[in-house]
Amino acid sequence: MSPSVSAPRLAGLLTGGSPRGTDDGPAYRSLAEGVRRLVADGRLLAGTRLPSERELTAALGVSRTTVAAAYGVLRERGYLQSRRGSGSVVSLPTGPVPGGPLSPVDGLAPDVLDLTIAAHAATPGLAEAYEEAMAALPHHLPGTGYHPYGLPEVRELLAERYTARGLPTDPSQVLVTTGALAGLGLALRALGSPGDRALVESPSYPNAMAAIRGAGLRTVGLALDEDGLDADGLDVTLRQSAARLAYLVPDFHNPTGTLVGDPTREQVARVLRRRRTTALVDETPVDLALDRPESAMPAPMASYDDRVVTLGSAAKSYWGGLRVGWLRVPLADTGRFQQARLTLDLGAAVVEQLVLAALLRRRDELLARRREQLRASRAAMVSALAEHLPDWRFTVPEGGLCLWCRLPEPRSSALADAAPAHGLRLAPGSAFGVDGGLESFCRLPMALPPDLATEAVRRVARAWDDAVTGTPARSARPVIVA
Ligand SMILES: Cc1ncc(COP(=O)(O)O)c(C=O)c1O
């Protein structure tokens, strides 16, 4: 069954908030433009059933002819399809284009700035952590090196960290993986079956959406509003879709940067229980709180619902190159996850786990430095945007790695196409949408050092000029040299 939007809700979206129809021209054009903007903004997702003409007429207090003509224009332009028995369903003129995974590239020309990846260089202190790991290694060499669920000392350290955050955790609940994305793969193997539905926020992290589809599950989008996750919207979408799993990023969401507060977490947990949906909560960015002490962070989602599976990673806190992440699973599910792990990759590398242990022992000091760097990058980016792209809008995130910018015109793909000619790689907004769309947005990672962040924004501004003026993408410079 297609998810649907009720007439009062659509009327509210059209008349409230920023995405209004234009006030010029005939009323039906203005209404069609309003709906088109909601699609470009990702507030209306492809596949959503719109209310009937009669219902929307009543909710908006306009004439039936206006609504009929607006639906007609939207149909003509590819934004609506009428399906027998399903009414009018939102579509994208390009067709549903689920963004593929974002792909880091090797051999990037040295002067190219890559804004497709929200990741830092290694944390200062990483080399010392490797030295510590090498010193500890001889102790492990007489063993086989197979630790499919993780080195006991690492599982203990990770369990202690959850416990310190107010979520009592036994080391047996922790499985060390080769990253959060691999953790998601493991969770899907343990809990999902091909054909199941999995709810994903839209926008969301493209590689997670691709992993879910790759495991044979069907993604169901939940449009995020300005404040992030909305428990009522979640309830409606879960009721309509009966999704068994939900992939959520409540801590400094990628790409929007929003942090879900405790009251919403509590409501979300209630909805998840009512709908019997298991949440896979990705906490990859959780250590990157920039404007509040860790002690003021909301409680982990798993402390509100003990069926939550939590994904963690060393990638954003320390370094992506470690390829170490972990899962915290419900006590009752440990056997199931351990079985699934034995069919996957038999564990993460011992040395990198020892490095993680060394990093975790110095976490406070290392994270303080990481956050300091990130604050400086954020400040540089925000001031460069004010100078070079003053009509771009964004909320300064209080943590994480991403600025999610609303563009004055829905030209994100044209912007991404124009970027390489300016020595830049950019992902279009559509990459983050569950079925594409989101042409009014662009994600700018804040991971570059301040001088490069400023230069990146200058290049974005030049590429934006090309996108707005329709200058054909030039391929004057090679982006990749190897
Ligand atoms: C929300 C989220 N989850 C997971 C990952 C990937 O984590 P890992 O490198 O540990 O697989 C990223 C990387 O950008 C991310 O933003």
Strand pairing category for 278-282 and 309-313: parallel
Instruction: Kindly state whether residue 345 falls inside one of the protein's structural domains.
Output: yes
Can you tell me the distance from the alpha carbon of 417 to that of 467, in angstroms, rounded to the nearest whole number?
Answer: 8
Mark whether 280 and 135 lie in a shared domain. Answer: yes
Quick one: 286 and 433 in the same domain? Answer: no
177 ligand 1 Cβ < 6 A:
no
Q: Is 186 close to ligand 1, i.e. is its CB under 6 Å away?
A: no
Q: Is residue 200 part of a domain?
A: yes
Q: What is the pLDDT of residue 76?
A: 86
Question: Of 381, 388, 383, whose CA–CA distance to 444 is shortest?
Answer: 381
- Hey, what are 13's tokens? 């979206």
Task: Confirm whether 301 is domain-assigned.
Answer: yes
d(C-alpha 106, C-alpha 108), whole Å:
6
pLDDT value at residue 1: 59
68: left (phi over 0), alpha (psi -120 to 50) or beta: alpha
Q: Evaluate whether residue 474 is within a structural domain.
A: no
Domain shared by 352 and 374, yes or no: no
Residue 17: the pLDDT is 47
Does ligand 1 lie within 6 Å of residue 322's CB atom? no
For 65, other C-beta atoms within 10 Å of its C-beta total 12
Return the residue whose CA atom lies nearest to atom 13 of ligand 1.
Answer: 118
Alpha-carbon span 324 to 312, nearest angstrom: 9
pTM over 0.75: yes
Query: Does residue 357 share a domain with residue 225?
Result: yes
Q: Which of 209, 316, 404 to mutate to test the pocket of ligand 1 (most atoms within 8 A of CB)?
A: 316
The CA-based angle 271-273-275, given to 5 degrees, is: 70
Ligand 1 centroid, distance to 315 Cα (angstroms):
7
Q: Give the pair of three-digit tokens for residue 80.
A: 């609506």
What span, in angstroms and rounded, lies between the C-alpha atoms of 207 and 467? 26
Residues 342 and 404 in one domain: no
Identify the pLDDT of residue 39.
85
pLDDT of residue 467: 96
325 and 189 co-located in one domain: yes
Amino acid at residue number 139:
H
Q: Does residue 74 fall inside a structural domain?
A: yes
User: Distance (Å, rounded) from C-alpha 151 to C-alpha 158?
Assistant: 11
Among protein residues, the one whose CA lies closest to atom 12 of ligand 1: 284
Distance 180 CA to ligand 1 centre (A): 6
Ligand 1 pocket test: pick from 120, 178, 205 the residue with the most ligand atoms within 8 Å of its Cβ: 205
Give me the phi and psi of 477, to 5 degrees please.
Answer: -130, 140
179 lines ligand 1 (CB under 6 A): yes
Same domain, 281 and 182: yes
Task: Kindly write down the DSSP assignment for every residue of 378-414, as one continuous string.
Answer: HHHHHHHHHHH-TT-B-PPPSBSSEEEEEPSSS-HHH
Nearest CA to ligand 1 atom 14: 118
- pLDDT at 100 (0 to 100): 76
| Largest Cα–Cα separation, the chain | 81
> Using an 8 Å Cβ cutoff, are 278 and 245 in contact?
yes
3-state secondary structure of 97: coil
The structural domain count of the chain equals 3
pLDDT of residue 225: 78
293 and 371 both lie in a single domain: no
d(CA 464, ligand 1 centre) in Å: 28
SS3 66: helix
According to the model, what pLDDT value does residue 96 have? Answer: 60
The domain boundary, picked from 363, 387, 419, lies at 363
CA within 13 Å, CB half, 295: 0
Q: Whose CA is nearest to atom 3 of ligand 1?
A: 284
Decide which of 330, 363, 396 is a domain's last residue: 363
26 CA to centre of ligand 1 in angstroms = 46
> Residue 479's pLDDT is what?
55
User: How far from 421 is each of 113, 347, 427, CA to CA, in Å?
Assistant: 12, 42, 14
Are both 383 and 302 inside the same structural domain?
A: no
Domain boundary among 307, 337, 363: 363
Q: Given the DSSP bridges, would you call strands 441-445 and 245-248 parallel, antiparallel or unpaired?
A: unpaired
Q: Is residue 428 in contact with ligand 1, taking CB distance under 6 Å?
A: no
Residue 104 located in a structural domain: no
Nearest protein Cα to ligand 1, atom 10: 179
Do residue 281 and residue 375 come from a single domain? Answer: no
- Walk along the chain (482 residues) and give the pLDDT tens digit of each residue: 568 899 999 998 898 744 444 455 788 989 998 998 888 788 888 888 999 999 999 999 999 999 999 998 898 888 888 877 768 888 887 766 666 788 878 778 889 999 999 999 999 999 999 999 999 999 999 999 999 999 999 999 999 999 999 999 999 999 999 999 999 999 999 999 999 999 999 999 999 999 999 999 999 999 997 778 999 999 999 999 999 999 999 999 999 999 999 999 999 999 999 999 999 999 999 999 999 999 999 999 999 999 999 999 999 999 999 999 999 999 999 999 999 999 999 999 999 999 999 999 999 999 999 999 999 999 999 999 999 999 999 999 999 999 999 999 999 999 999 999 999 999 999 999 998 889 999 999 999 999 999 999 999 999 999 999 987 766 555 555 55
Q: Could you write out the DSSP letters of every residue in 246-302?
A: EEE--SS-TTT-----HHHHHHHHHHHHHTT-EEEEE-TTTT-BSSS-GGGSPPPGG
Does 338 fall in a domain?
A: yes
pLDDT of residue 374: 96
CATH for 63:
1.10.10.10
Which structure tokens are listed for 439? Answer: 């042409």
Determine which helix (DSSP H) or strand (DSSP E) holds 87, and give its type and residue range: strand 87-90
State the distance from the centre of ligand 1 to the C-alpha of 368, rounded, in angstroms.
20
CATH number (domain holding residue 371): 3.90.1150.10
In the DSSP assignment, the letter for residue 320 is G
Q: Are residues 331 and 410 in the same domain?
A: no
Strands 402-406 and 441-445: antiparallel
Q: Which atom of ligand 1 is nearest to the CA of 179?
A: 10
Task: Read off the CATH number of the domain in which 234 is found.
Answer: 3.40.640.10
- Range(s) of the domain holding residue 13: 7-90
- 415 plus 282 within the same structural domain: no
Residue 374 φ then ψ, to 5°: -70, -35
User: Is the minimum distance from the CB of 317 to ligand 1 under 6 angstroms?
Assistant: no
Instruction: Say if ligand 1 is within 6 A of residue 255 CB.
Output: no
Residue 98 located in a structural domain: no
Give, using CA atoms, the residue closest to atom 16 of ligand 1. Answer: 254
